[in-house]
């Protein structure tokens, strides 16, 4: 993201303002972790979500971002409490509806980067359709799904990523529904950046967040984040400290190859970690900005009321 150091006022929907280069001579410093941390997180001790939050702070500090250039959006769930803990603009929105809310911000504020955090239930159950459409429209934002394979906030129901046989309050005899594969889902839906990481590998989480933020389009990260309360040990097989394996995406993987990415996504758990897929397609943001530029050209020199009148005259 090259605009993080600009102080140029940007009017909503004014693409010309967004193109203004950053003021490199600016003396204002970026935020420190201390400045960006709000309330103490209310998560259970040991929850994987702590690590994701700490790395988000690190990202903000490392990339020298300012309050007005960050916005943190979430739906509902333990993971979706995220924006409460960030001392910047953000919203804890409706369950499953974080993406449409974030889309509005992204499309009207090209000068900032929108981050969305949430859970597997929020993303793939109630928010499943929003996920598909935001991905296919390639709306610029970073969506980090903190996948714990369970509904944590509501105390252990089966989620769309819970594996077969998982015993929960909604499946007392073990889950019978086939789980979705978030990586396959994201690739198939048209996300232009698809990565996978795990909260137990901080350097890797930070690297994925940075790469996602720098991507001009809809960037999706599946971040395994253990719910120590309702699904303890779910990701041990992906954690070398617990005897598991952390396999990075092979060095020779061609991330521009959709089919290859899909194959990687099909590997048995713990699978691979890294960038599976990356494609530089035009964003909806860019397309809408162009439409707006053309429109502004057509009405050049006219006052607002004259433009309005022209529209009403045309509708007659
Ligand atoms: C419309 C609506 N339906 C259901 C709920 C109840 N509810 C709150 S969070 C949640 C699931 C959370 O699971 P997930 O998104 O995986 O987040 P986690 O708590 O695991 O981080 C549900 C079903 C709600 N708040 N709103
Ligand atoms: S219930 Fe699970 S997901 Fe929620 S805060 Fe506790 S450990 Fe984390
Ligand atoms: Mg969950």
> Three-state secondary structure along the chain?
CCHHHCCCCCCCCCHHHHCCCCCCCCCCCCCCHHHHECCCCCCCCCCCHHHHHHHHHHHHHHCCCCHHHEEEEECCCCHHHHHHHECCEEEECCCCCHHHHHHHHHHHCCCCEEEEEEEHHHHHHHCHHHHHHHHHHCCCEEEEEEECCCECCCCCECCCCCCCCCCCCCCCCCCCCCCCCHHHHHHHHCCCEEEEEECCCHHHHHHHHHHHHHCCCEEEEEEECCCCCCCCCCCHHHCHHHCCCCEECCCCCCCCCHHHHHHHHCCCCCCEEEEEEECCCCCHHHHHHHHHHHHHHHCCCCCHHHHHHHHHHHHC
| Whole-number pLDDT of residue 5 | 42
Those residues whose C-beta lies under 8 Å from the C-beta of residue 259, and which sit 6 or more positions away, are: none
First to last CA, the chain: 45
Task: Using alpha carbons, select from 99, 93, 134, 100 the residue that is nearest to residue 116.
Answer: 99
| Whole-number pLDDT of residue 26 | 60
Distance 4 CA to ligand 2 centre (A): 32
| Axis-axis angle for helices 182-189, 258-265 (nearest 10) | 160
* Number of residues in the chain: 316
Closest atom, ligand 1, to C-alpha of 80: 21
Answer for the pair 122, 75: CB distance below 8 angstroms, yes or no.
yes
d(CA 316, CA 302): 20
Ligand at minimal distance from the CA of 231 is: 2
Burial class (CB in 10 A: 0-12, 13-18, 19+), 165: exposed
pLDDT digits (tens), the chain, 316 positions: 333 444 433 333 444 344 333 433 467 888 888 999 998 999 999 999 999 999 999 999 999 988 888 899 999 999 999 999 999 999 999 999 999 999 999 999 999 999 999 999 999 999 999 999 999 999 999 999 999 999 999 999 999 999 999 999 999 999 999 999 999 999 999 999 999 999 999 999 999 999 999 999 999 999 999 999 999 999 999 999 999 999 999 999 999 999 999 999 999 999 999 999 999 999 999 999 999 999 999 999 999 999 999 999 999 9
Top mutation candidate among 44, 74, 77 for ligand 1, by most atoms within 8 Å of CB: 77
| Whole-number pLDDT of residue 39 | 82
Query: Is the pTM here over 0.85, yes or no?
Result: yes
Q: 148 in ligand 1 pocket by Cβ < 6 Å?
A: yes
| Whole-number pLDDT of residue 198 | 98
Top mutation candidate among 45, 47, 75 for ligand 2, by most atoms within 8 Å of CB: 47
Q: 49 in ligand 2 pocket by Cβ < 6 Å?
A: yes
Torsion angles phi and psi, residue 195, rounded to 5: -135, 160
Q: 159 in ligand 1 pocket by Cβ < 6 Å?
A: yes
d(CA 149, CA 2): 35
| Whole-number pLDDT of residue 22 | 42
Task: Using alpha carbons, select from 113, 37, 125 the residue that is nearest to residue 77.
Answer: 125
d(CA 148, CA 123): 12
| Whole-number pLDDT of residue 288 | 97
Residues with beta carbon < 5 A to ion ligand 3? 119-120, 148
């Amino acid at each position: 993201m090259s605009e993080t150091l600009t102080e140029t006022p940007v009017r909503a929907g004014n693409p010309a303002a967004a193109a203004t280069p950053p003021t490199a001579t600016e003396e204002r410093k970026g935020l420190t972790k201390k400045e960006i941390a709000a309330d103490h997180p209310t998560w259970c001790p040991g929850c994987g979500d702590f690590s994701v939050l700490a790395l988000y702070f690190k990202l903000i500090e490392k990339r020298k971002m300012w309050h007005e250039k960050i916005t943190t959006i979430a739906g509902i769930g333990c993971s979706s409490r995220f924006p409460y803990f960030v001392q910047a603009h953000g919203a804890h929105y409706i369950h499953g509806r974080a993406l449409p809310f974030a889309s509005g911000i992204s499309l009207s504020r090209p000068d900032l980067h929108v981050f969305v955090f949430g859970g597997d239930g929020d993303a793939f159950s109630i928010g499943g359709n929003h996920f598909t459409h935001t991905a296919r429209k390639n709306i610029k934002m970073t969506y980090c799904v903190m996948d714990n394979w369970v509904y944590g906030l509501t105390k252990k129901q089966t989620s769309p990523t819970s594996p077969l046989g998982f015993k929960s309050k909604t499946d007392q005899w073990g889950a019978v529904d086939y789980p979705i594969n978030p990586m396959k889902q994201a690739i198939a839906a048209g996300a232009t950046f698809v990565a996978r990481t795990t909260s137990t590998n901080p350097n890797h989480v930070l690297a994925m967040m940075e790469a996602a933020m720098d991507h001009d389009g809809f960037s999706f990260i599946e971040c395994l984040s253990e719910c120590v309360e309702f699904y303890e040990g779910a990701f041990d097989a992906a954690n070398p400290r617990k005897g598991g394996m952390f396999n990075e995406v092979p060095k020779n993987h061609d991330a521009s190859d959709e089919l290859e990415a899909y194959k990687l996504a099909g590997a048995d758990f713990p699978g691979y970690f890294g960038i599976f897929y990356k494609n530089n397609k035009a964003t909806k943001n860019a397309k809408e900005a162009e439409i707006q530029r053309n429109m502004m050209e057509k009405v050049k020199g006219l006052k607002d009321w004259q433009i309005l009148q022209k529209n009403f005259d045309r509708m007659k």
